[in-house]
Structure 1
């Protein structure tokens, strides 16, 4: 995106950890006896990009709408730079909102949609509309109507409209869910680049874990109205706090067993793993082994199994290896090896990387 005419911030500001730009404090919301949001608290630093990630019904959109002012919480507070905005009208919160459906006015042009909430002299409004259109690269489309635009173009219009009032916080509710995969990948990179250049604090909602991991400084994984874990993409992927996060983020081999010297014993097999300090021998544990951390060899020492399936994923092939106990273990290999080295039915040995495996907690049910 070319933003030569729009210079709000030359670079993304460093997060101000001492004072959150956006703070959510013990927010709860109940709908017809269902606790949609359950005492959720978290902070965003100025300029930070955080994603609420979870399945449908986990409460992420309800929480976003509470922050925007479109829904009232039953308890808790929303603060912007220390100011309580919980009871404030959406228009006064200095927050821009991009809806999942974009919510464009079908009878208004692109220019009219972008400038809908702008006030002031006509010439100043026109300059601001042109500025924003150039920022999101739709300046050639200002005279068109929403039905004349592609999904990606409509998303850019919705984003420009959300930025028109110069908000301090940008809120986005699954804005790419209706786009095809190729366009989503392109636009998410452009979106992240744009908010970085503007230095704008951003809270993003999605059910797409790949999108969340690619876009975010931090990811908040939600379940049953609560945040199960919040951390960097690397944290939630490599060091999941609970079994649910381990299973939800990425592909997992979850091994339940008991603690023994050197790892976890399950079904007569010892899975190598560095046990946490203080774990007593025989304690019940769950270990996480990602497919990319499970080595495979045609023979030698390791966990014996037979290749049952091979799924081509582009750069990698995902092998399903059936152990003698009946467990299916997934292991990733470079796809150029797939045809010759790893045919279905071949006997192999697995060599899990003990330095990459982690113990995960069961977490709340």
Structure 2
């Protein structure tokens, strides 16, 4: 399909002069004595895809609803292209919202759901509905009702409805949480491709870290109503700013020790790493070693341990290795080698990559 009809106008004030398309400034929201969002600030560039990632109760959905206008902040501002929309009604914000439950009308057809908020002549509305249905590949389903659709098809209907009024910003609240893993992987690829074609600024909420890393230009990790770190997926994974982010994203080996020549000394062994410049000897630090950055050998120099567990993950096998100190270290090795070389109960030597180790802070920066 030719997407020319969805090309976004370049002369809108929101897109002019390189200003942030969406801005959230010191937004706070409390319910009774519970602070749901605590002085959060961030910005999205035009066409950027940013994900709010965190556990249930961290404030991500409340923040999304504030951006949409469904909840009013106690303090702070929401800006669209520099315009303060904090007190603007949701219908005037030029924002499309996809709910976690999709919120489709059960007594309306797919076509009626998509065109619910459209106005104008019937012929123009019908053309828009058909156009959107083709875009999300549900055009054969326009006469069906929600209960006759799969979860993935319902999600596409909800997405088409959110796009019907040509929003400047698209907001999605865990739209794939009810889908099985195989469908989620397929739909997230399609969603990102669609967003890229439309060039639409997107703010996405999820608790699924794999989903966030796969979809996003940037990820904002939330904790207790605040953004702990915001950055590219690579930054979040490889250079976590805090101990919380390091432990929340992926599998982590977090080593607390004291700075010595060549690395960190912990529990009687030295973990090799390049210490930050001007680190004082004896300083207490916490270092992150990802499982894929720990090589193994049968003998020789390194950190001795015993293979305690092996979990087959397809391309890799995840090994649990118990050190003499009692610490359990996780190492990922290619599955074609792990079964024969590293049997359970076998002695191994860990060789962490010193260039990949990262110092993490215990408190947000």
Which segments of structure 1 move beyond 2 Å, counting only runs of 4 or more? 3-10, 15-18
Take 1:157 and 1:185, find their aligned partners in 2: how far apart are those partners?
18
Please say if 1:251 is aligned against 2:246.
no
Is the contact between residue 98 and residue 173 of structure 1 (CA under 8 Å) also seen in structure 2? yes
* SS of aligned partner of 1:325: coil
Cα deviation 1:234-271 (Å, max 9, x = unaligned): 00000000000000000000000111111111001100
Q: What are the superposed Cα offsets for residues 23-73 of structure 1, whole Å, 9 maximum, x if unpaired?
A: 000000001101100000000000000000000000000000000000000
Q: CA deviation at 1:339?
A: 1.9
| Residue matched to 1:228 | 228
Q: Please give the per-residue CA displacement for 1:290-328, whole angstroms capped at 9, x wherever unaligned.
A: 000000011111100000000011110000110001000
Cα distance in 1 for residues equivalent to 2:17 and 2:37? 25
Q: Secondary structure at the match of 1:317?
A: strand
Shift of 1:277: 1.6
Equivalent residue, structure 2, for 1:261: 261
Q: Structure 2, unaligned stretches of length 5 or more?
A: none
Partner residue, 2:160: 160
> After the TM superposition, which residues 1-365 of structure 1 pair with which residues of structure 2 at under 5 Å, given as runs?
3-4=1-2, 7-9=5-7, 18-364=18-364
Instruction: In structure 1, list runs of 5 or more residues that go unmatched.
Output: none
Query: What's the secondary structure of 2:6's corresponding residue?
Result: coil
1:81-121: per-residue Cα shift (whole Å, max 9, x none)?
00000000000000000000000000000000000000000
Following the alignment from structure 1 to structure 2, what is the Cα–Cα distance between the partners of residues 97 and 131? 19
Residues 49, 217 of structure 1: 8 Å contact kept: yes
Contact 1:170/1:202 (8 A) holds in 2: yes
Per-residue CA shift, 1:202-221, capped at 9, x if unaligned? 00000000000000000000
> How has the CA–CA distance of structure 1 residues 131 and 302 changed in structure 2, closer, same or farther, with 3 Å as cutoff?
same
Asked whether the equivalents of residues 252 and 291 of structure 1 are also in contact (C-alpha less than 8 Å), the reply is yes
Q: Secondary structure at the match of 1:288?
A: strand
Per-residue deviation at 1:17? 8.9
Aligned residues: 360
Q: What is the root-mean-square deviation of aligned Cα atoms in Å?
A: 1.5
Question: What is the deviation of 1:16?
Answer: 8.2
CA distance in 2, matches of 1:156, 1:6: 20
Q: Which moved more, 1:153-162 or 1:276-285?
A: 276-285
The CA deviation at 1:8 is 2.2
- Provide the C-alpha distance between the structure 2 equivalents of 1:119 and 1:6, rounded to a whole number of angstroms: 21
For residues 164-212 of structure 1, give each alpha carbon's deviation from its aligned partner in whole angstroms, at most 9, with x where no partner exists. 0000000000000000000000000000000000000000000000000
**Partner of 2:330: helix, strand, or coil?**
strand
- The 1:218–1:5 alpha-carbon spacing in structure 2 relative to 1, beyond 3 Å, is closer
Q: Report the Cα offset of residue 18 of structure 1.
A: 4.1
Q: TM-score, normalised by structure 1?
A: 0.97
SS in structure 2 opposite 1:51? strand
Q: TM-score, normalised by structure 2?
A: 0.97
